[in-house]
Amino acid sequence: MDILLVGGLLLLIMMVLLSGGVWIAMTLAICGWVGQAFFTSTSPGNNLFSSFWESNASWELAALPLFIWMGEILFRSKLSEEMFEGLRPWLNRVPGRLMHTTILGCGIFGSVSGSSAATCATISKVALPELLKRGYSEKIALGSLATAGTLGILIPPSITMVVYAVAADASIIRIFLAGFLPGFLLMGLFSGYIIWWSLRHPDEVPPPDPPTTFMEKIRLSGNLIPCAALIIFIVWVLIAGYATATECAAYGVAGSLGLAWWSKSLTWATFWEGLMGTTRTSCMIMFILAGASFLSKTMAFTGIPRELATWVDAMHLSPYALIAVLTVVY
């Protein structure tokens, strides 16, 4: 069978399974198994186990559960609610209001964690419940988190950038510097889209609160101090070179526990619930990454990426058209 037809068949199977409500990780693993079992001579069983081990035994993911735990603590101790309360008066007159906090939060946290998975999981745990509770549209809240969560891979210090620089023998500093401009540009574009969407759909955004005085804004901004101090400390420790991203995650957990204890909102119940929530979220993400790794091996064994590259090269596209095709395909 033609290789591109194989790719189309696997894509069709994936769409059918996802439409039927099959878990994402299971869908990826099933597509990978079908591709290797029927269209290659390799053993899918061995590759499945090796993919699960290699993807989850990666040092890049060591910080993931810790950052998720930090987000769980902030969420369950109500520190995140205080943070949103402090931001509310300053964003009250901006179209979209508190939805801009997801963009800013993902940008800042992405620079700390260096991982898109950790960024998306942590900020969504903190921001999504607050946005829904305050009456924001679920689809735009989820959309802003899904898009802004990818900033973790682009804004330095990105773990992926470090891995690429080492593998390609390139300058890590130059790669980091190259990531700032597109990262900030994307943050501006995401916020711009939220403003445009809010103006087009005013009925799906809560009405603005009554105007507050400047002194009232200053007073409410005091709610930002605990979370802001924690974020500034983590960023400072990382930039100063005192800790790696994984160690910063550990500092973040310790700091969030300390803040929760200081605010008298840390109990054994919230501690245990946060730990269990972290376990569930981390396992879900790692299961998906394992399925994606197995499917990537299937793509390599079938030669689909190579065939796609040959097909695109034969089209003799302009640079901009090539970027558009690569964006759609990958």
Predicted TM-score (pTM) of the model is 0.72
Task: Judge contact between 329 and 25, C-beta under 8 A.
Answer: no
Domain regions of the chain by residue span: 95-207
Distances in Å between the Cα of 129 and the Cα atoms of 121, 125, 142, 177, 286 are: 13, 7, 11, 34, 23
- Provide the residue-wise pLDDT of the chain in tens; the chain has 330 residues: 577 788 888 889 999 999 998 999 999 999 999 988 888 888 888 888 888 888 777 776 777 788 788 878 877 777 777 777 777 777 777 888 888 888 877 877 776 655 676 677 777 877 888 788 888 888 888 888 888 888 877 876 666 676 566 556 777 667 777 888 888 898 899 999 999 998 888 888 888 777 778 788 888 888 778 877 887 888 788 777 788 777 888 888 999 899 888 888 888 888 898 899 888 888 888 888 889 889 988 888 888 888 877 877 788 888 888 888 777 766
Residue 158 neighbours by CB distance under 10 Å: 25
Task: Judge contact between 281 and 121, C-beta under 8 A.
Answer: yes
Distances in Å between the Cα of 231 and the Cα atoms of 13, 84, 225, 247, 252 are: 43, 15, 10, 14, 8
> What would the DSSP string read from start to end of 174-203?
HHHHHHHHHHHHHHHHHHHHHHHHHHH-GG
